[in-house]
């Protein structure tokens, strides 16, 4: 609801909470810090902000949970990440770099550009028939 527009940094933290919960079932401060290569106090501060925004909850000294809204936002960011990563891989970028660059791009691209990238990716998935896969049809309507 509140579209308070997260900073890039907070988007990263929120996304990481989500990813760790998917991967490990729990998002711990230590693991978030390690994954984002920051120190634990940075995570603590970020969590305070995300709590203020109503995106996460946390009982002191335990794992971080997502609120419903937090889940929704995190999933959106993660989807962007996945879209961009596969896009880059399709361009021939190696997986590690695709992951890293997707991680930066996911915070800055406009909805329009994301939409076009989606268009670009979709046909290939939907029509694996066309072997040559020349895409980017400048669609007329």
Partner DNA sequence: AATAAATGTTAGATTAATCTAACAAGCGTT
Partner DNA sequence: AACGCTTGTTAGATTAATCTAACATTTATT
Site stretch for its own copies (CB under 8 A), options 20-28, 32-40, 60-68, 105-113: 105-113
Site stretch for DNA (CB under 7 A), options 39-47, 87-95, 107-115, 123-131: 39-47
**57: partner contacted, choices DNA, its own copies, none (Cβ within 5-8 A by kind):** none
Nearer to DNA, 39 or 116 (CB): 39
Number of residues that bind DNA (CB under 7 A): 27
Q: What is the DSSP string of 3-19?
A: -----HHHHHHHHHHHH
Tokens of 24: 């490990």
Examine residue 39 and tell whether it contacts DNA (CB under 7 A).
Answer: yes
Q: Which helix (H) or strand (E) segment is 65 a member of?
A: strand 64-66
- Give me the sign of the Cα torsion angle 139, 103, 43, 46: negative
What is the distance between the alpha carbons of residues 122 and 45, in angstroms, rounded to a whole number?
39
The only residue of 52, 104, 122, 127 in contact with its own copies, by rule CB under 8 A: 104
């Amino acid at each position: 609801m509140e579209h308070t527009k997260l900073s890039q940094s907070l988007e990263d933290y929120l996304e990481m909470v989500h990813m760790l919960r998917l991967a490990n079932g729990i998002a711990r401060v230590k693991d978030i810090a390690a994954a984002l290569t920051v120190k634990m106090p940075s995570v603590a501060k970020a969590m305070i902000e995300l709590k203020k925004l109503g995106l996460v909850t946390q009982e002191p000294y335990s794992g971080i949970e997502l609120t419903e809204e937090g889940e929704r936002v995190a999933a959106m960011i993660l989807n962007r990440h996945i879209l961009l990563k596969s896009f880059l891989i399709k361009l021939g970028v190696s997986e590690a770099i695709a992951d890293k660059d997707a991680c930066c791009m996911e915070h800055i691209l406009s909805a329009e550009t994301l939409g076009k990238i989606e268009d670009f990716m979709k046909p290939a998935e939907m029509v694996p028939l066309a072997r040559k896969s020349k895409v980017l049809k400048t669609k007329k309507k």
